[in-house]
């Protein structure tokens, strides 16, 4: 393969992989937002509209610090923490909840 053709191939491959990784990150954030909002509805307020909450979450999670906290929170919730124990066992969720409250 010629050097320019090889460079073009590598550039295209790198661009594709970068776009794919960014897309996967957005999907993971959307899943985390849905999980967090569903937990808020079941533990805090049964009237929370999960879809509206998740959209608000996705808008606010662009802040990487909040994204990291959301990820840590949902990782903790994945361990089956009860509503009563969320504040004690998953304290990072309190910060995420505060950021998502309108």
What percentage of the chain exceeds 70 in pLDDT?
A: 73
* Mean pLDDT along residues 46-64: 88
At residue 80, the 3 state secondary structure works out as coil
Model confidence pTM above 0.75: no
Q: What pLDDT score does 21 carry?
A: 44
d(CA 75, CA 38): 14
Tell me: pLDDT of 13 over 70: no
| Reduced 3-state DSSP string for 13-71 | HHHHHHHHHHHHHHHHHHHHHHHHHHHHHHHCCCCCCHHHHHHHHHHHCCCHHHHHHHH
């Amino acid at each position: 393969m010629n050097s320019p053709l090889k460079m073009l191939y590598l550039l295209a491959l790198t661009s594709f992989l970068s776009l794919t990784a960014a897309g996967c990150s957005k999907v993971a954030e959307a899943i985390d937002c849905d999980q967090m909002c569903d937990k808020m509805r079941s533990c805090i307020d049964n009237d929370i509209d999960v879809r509206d909450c998740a959209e608000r979450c996705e808008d606010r999670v662009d802040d990487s610090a909040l994204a990291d906290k959301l990820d840590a929170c949902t990782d903790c919730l994945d361990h089956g923490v009860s509503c009563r124990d969320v504040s004690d066992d998953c304290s990072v969720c309190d910060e995420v909840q505060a950021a998502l409250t309108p």
